[in-house]
Chains A and B, each alone.
Chain A
Amino acid sequence: MTGLRRAPGIGIQEQNGAVYVAPLPDGPIVVLDGVAGVIWHAACAGDRATIAERVAEATDAAADEIRDDVDAFVADLVARGLLVYDP
């Protein structure tokens, strides 16, 4: 399994616990607040098969209970061109 990384031409900022992500130069600015920001960081930090485990560790949730939601969210980020697969 491979990882994920920020897509080329994507700007990122973090402020007051929120992650702001924007495709440049057109936008829009996407706000990843709370657990959404946790998933973003987890998605960029290792094998994509274990993203749910990293999110579970950071949030004290059970990995099996959140896996479907986490995977769907990550798929959405990829579909929007914010993340790309990192072979």
Chain B
Amino acid sequence: MAAEVNEVGVSVPLSVRLRFGHAAVQHLADEIGVDLLHIKGVAVDPELRSGRDSGSDVDVLVRPGHVDRLDRAMRRHGWRLYSTFEWGSPFGHAQTYLHDAWGYVDIHRFFPGIRLEPGRAFEQFWRDRNEVQIARIGCHVPSVTAQGVLLVLNAARSTNGRSVDVRMAWVDASTERRAEMTALVADLDASVAFAAATGELERYRGERDYRLWKIVSEGGSRSAEWWARIRAAPNLGAALRVAARAPRVNVDHLAHRLGRAPTRGEVAGEFFRRPARAVREAWRGIRRAEPGR
């Protein structure tokens, strides 16, 4: 009879890797005194999960003032930056890392749709947090009510509506839970994005971010989405930052497409291809808008 500790030549199910990913990030956060909350995937309460698979990555919401410390610690422990806040998503809310053992981790510094200042929003979630065991490590998660709100807000960013999440978290929720969620959405100043997922967006036509959530939840051209982002920005400075970003090349995306760091020439080439793409999109938009076609 022989048994050996096997480290090579075996496959580890994705669901196992992801659970370890949650546990690894929590362990590291505990070591360096970083506050974070596990959101989505296996961290979601079973009441809201509907028995689906556990996703393809680990998502954590980090206290904004702790993001830099976590970033440095993760890089020291084998996580490689895969995409940046700047280019990871049009909202600039999350940064993705890849670890050989644990796979992908998304670090969120705020959650799209919440207009309350990110530090105060995090504190709101942190104050009512729970703890769940993942891979026998105690991991902090938002309250079940807050998890429901985050699932609905997340669904608002999907043009297919992630109807299962909205049904589980909102449509099928008890009257008491819906009242708690509604109160939290108001505290987080997240009513517009929430309404985009629950089909009540038209109540918010006068809001500055109405058009953005209309496009994000229902679809639209890339250029229309950027215009909506500029219009949704809370002040001129934020609007200018968005405007400055819009015409630049997403270097992370280009690097992943090429499988290596792009050369200056490739970045320049991509820059000149993008306006042409925007013109084509605008042309298609005009054609769609023309009556009788």
Contacts and interface: CB of A to CB of B under 8 A. Distances in A.
Nearest to A79: B5
A69 B1 contact: yes
A23 B150 CA distance: 31
A15 B1 contact: no
B194 interface: no
A20 B23 contact: no
Interface in B1-20: 1-7, 10, 12-13, 15-17, 19-20
Contacts of A28: 7, 101
A87 B25 CA distance: 30
Contact of A30 (B7, B19, B102): B7
A22 interface: yes
B13 to A, nearest CB: 6
B160 to A, nearest CB: 30
A81 B233 CA distance: 51
Given A11-B136, A66-B1, A20 B20 contact: yes
A77 B20 CA distance: 19
Interface string A37-65: 00100000000000000000001010001
A77 B5 contact: yes
B24 A29 contact: no
Interface string B152-196: 000000000000000000000000000000000000000000000
B27 interface: yes
A25 B77 contact: yes
Nearest to B29: A25
Contacts of A80: 5
Contacts of A39: 3
B137 interface: yes
B135 interface: yes
A76 B5 contact: yes
Contacts, number: 91
Given A24-B27, A28-B101, A13 B16 contact: yes
Nearest to B17: A29
A8 B100 CA distance: 22
Contacts of B23: 11, 22, 24
Contacts of B136: 6, 11-13
A11 B13 CA distance: 15
Contact of B20 (A29, A35, A59, A66): A29
Contacts of B7: 28, 30-31
A26 to B, nearest CB: 6
A36 interface: yes
A12 B2 CA distance: 22
B28 interface: yes
A34 interface: yes
A15 B13 CA distance: 9
A28 B137 CA distance: 16
Most buried by B among A15, A24, A36, A76: A24
A40 to B, nearest CB: 10
List 10 tightest A-B contacts by C-beta distance, closest first: A27-B101, A11-B135, A24-B27, A25-B24, A25-B28, A11-B23, A36-B3, A24-B24, A31-B10, A12-B136
Given A25-B77, A29-B101, 20 more contacts: A11-B19, A11-B24, A13-B135, A13-B136, A15-B13, A20-B16, A22-B20, A22-B24, A24-B24, A24-B27, A25-B24, A26-B24, A27-B24, A27-B102, A29-B20, A31-B6, A32-B5, A35-B1, A59-B1, A73-B4
Interface of B: 1-7, 10, 12-13, 15-17, 19-20, 23-25, 27-28, 31, 77-78, 99-102, 135-137
